[in-house]
Amino acid sequence: MNVDLLATALKRLAILILLFIASPVLLTMAFKAIKRYQEGFEYWLSHLFLVSAGLLIIFTIYFAFKTFGTISKAIFQK
């Protein structure tokens, strides 16, 4: 077991847990902003917020696969 790689993987896991919490919260906030603001600058800002929240969710899924791959390499490496 590679201890240095495992330490890196656990740090990434802590970041991943924060992303798992923050991503859906930001997406919910974006949908509420779209519902609340129907015109003007806030309308476009809420849509920009929605797109950025969607991209953050996609990044969270990518980062999860990358983190679990690092954990499996750290544990099962010979």
Tens digits of residue pLDDT in 9-39: 999 999 999 999 999 999 999 999 999 999 8
Name the band, by pLDDT with cuts 50, 70 and 90, for residue 78.
low
Cβ-contact 49, 33 below 8 angstroms: yes
Question: What's the domain range around 71?
Answer: 3-76
CB neighbours of residue 39 within 10 Å:
7
Work out how many domains the chain is built from and give that number.
Answer: 1
pTM: 0.86
User: What's the confidence (pLDDT) of residue 77?
Assistant: 84
Cβ-contact 7, 73 below 8 angstroms: no
